[in-house]
Amino acid sequence: MIRSVCIFCGAKPGLAPTYAELARTSGRAIARRGWRIVYGGGSVGLMGEVAAAALEAGGEVVGIIPAILMRREVGKRDVSRLEVVADMATRKERMIEISDAFIALPGGLGTLDELFEVLTLRQIGFHHKPVGLLNHDGYFEGLLAMCAGFVAEGFVRPGDLDHLMVEPEIESLLARLAG
């Protein structure tokens, strides 16, 4: 049963205003389900939008941020709980530990780092938690094609990617995560 979902997404807003809209819709949808959001603790970019929208909708939001990023990502102090941790590795570890599922929204290198961390940890059996990718307007199409290539070339077992849930809309993704 899912009670906490971890969101990975851009610390930047992206160019099109639709990305912020997507982040807000996602935050609200998760709050409406009564699921707690775990995220990187910042108030900038899509991260900040997800958190603010979930809080406005009455949801619970836990931010986990390394002390060194408190200033750069403007640590969001009005979340339900803000954990300031020692470093980036501890942040990822803690986010993974206290979440029951993971969702990646559009983002950049940090988002991919976090997504692949949970995928590789699942690949080696460290956890069996569901992982979802919100492929809004085909944002991750290139990445998915690349991953299919890795499978075709024998570097990734098909089973290690089959469980990645890819959906274009947040509602269908949440429904699949909920099982």
User: Which residues of the shown chain bind ligand AMP in the complex (CB under 6 A)?
Assistant: 10-12, 40, 42, 47, 69, 73, 88, 107-111, 113-114
DSSP H stretches of helix in the chain = 17-32, 45-56, 88-97, 109-123, 141-152, 159-162, 170-178
Query: Residue 10 CB, nearest distance to ligand AMP (Å)?
Result: 4
Closer residue to ligand AMP, CB minimum distance, 97 or 171: 97
The residue nearest ligand AMP at its CB is 110
Closer residue to ligand AMP, CB minimum distance, 66 or 130: 66
Query: Residue 117 CB, nearest distance to ligand AMP (Å)?
Result: 8
Closer residue to ligand AMP, CB minimum distance, 31 or 95: 95
The whole-angstrom separation of Cα 172 and Cα 178 is 10
Cα 159 to Cα 30, 64, 118, 151, 154: the distances in Å are 28, 31, 15, 9, 12
Query: Residue 12 CB, nearest distance to ligand AMP (Å)?
Result: 5
Query: Residue 40 CB, nearest distance to ligand AMP (Å)?
Result: 3
Cα 167 to Cα 68, 88, 103, 131, 172: the distances in Å are 34, 28, 11, 11, 7
Closer residue to ligand AMP, CB minimum distance, 72 or 157: 72
